[in-house]
Structure 1
């Protein structure tokens, strides 16, 4: 009976016994509100981007094989890919500088202001775009199907990068994917420093 009373008191008062160690919140990958364009709006707990400009994820891709997705909620001008912390988050579209590699809404792939490729299938509203990256190439998937148009030559510490303009709205998935990632690929892991 005494333990029941103690438990009830803890829940009511928020007090805990001696030696209690509070649980830490497990870090999750989401859109980073510290690395976002001035006119970008981040909602849905860091999972939706709208407004005008770009945002990076709060974690770089450090593991060997990573995967993430976007769902195109509203069309407009948008892009998805990778960028360093130096990429122009207030400039739309990404891919115009040396620090971003993106797929744009019309299926073109850009880096450093140059078109590096073009998808044969152009994504539409409601489609889910998957992105895989293994530090050698970035690949895209449309509704789970590989598009076989790799993006090569990506350098540096990169983060998932997204931009929107002209009414575009993107929902970002860093886990609990719509489609199965390719073999060996998984959600982005946040590096933890060991004490």
Structure 2
């Protein structure tokens, strides 16, 4: 049976669509730091990643569980147990987003900072907890491509923008907390738990898993 030119074009188009979907979910093409087909080994997975068992139903993780897209929240795979911890989140693509720390029981189906179990900075350039705006960032606004840093010592949660301390400490956080992220409306966030973009504050280090603390 002969195949028409139009049918060939349609098959080619469908193939390209499936290829794009594969690129998104499996971190190839634009989503991957290594071009497909060159035989580069995947980088080692960090000790802390984003937890696929603790996220909103429409959230999507790619890039070895370090990138959040779709709609919903996710928490990190390990809580903050050491005295001084530091991590970062890169605003890979703008939209609606929020990130900070949350209790294990915080609601990952809605934007963070709306309940009493999460403390975050968000895309409206405010720092928020339990729907209360604690600080407004009038001078330094977070934009696409920026890196937001977090330091937590069980007394204060501090926020940094491209390495600059925003001087907006949150106090009174009780209980064991995890790094948490939320995206909607096309936002994409990259969690950075190692190999930081900027130097951590003095005395702070990456989040240690329990085995590394022993």
TM over 0.5: yes
Distance 1:157 1:118 in 2: 26
Give 1:192 shift. 2.1
Among 93, 99, 113, which residue is 2:131 paired with?
113
Structure 2 match to 1:162:
181
Among 32, 48, 55, which residue is 2:51 paired with?
32
Q: How does 1:14-163 map to 2 (within 5 A)?
A: 28-91=47-110, 93-120=111-138, 121-163=140-182
Greater than 3 Å deviation, 4+ residue runs: none
Contact 1:53–1:89 (Cα < 8 Å) also in 2: yes
Give 1:193 shift. 9.1
Larger helix fraction of residues: 2
Which one is further off, 173-182 or 105-114?
105-114
User: Which SS does the other structure have where 1:192 is aligned?
Assistant: helix
TM-score by length of 1: 0.83
Give ranges in structure 2 of 5+ residues lacking alignment.
1-43
Contact 2:46–2:194 (Cα < 8 Å) also in 1: no
Give ranges in structure 1 of 5+ residues lacking alignment.
1-24
Q: 1:192 to 1:169 in 2, by over 3 A?
A: same
Matched, 1:171 2:200: no
Structure 1 match to 2:32:
none
C-alpha RMSD of the superposition: 1.8
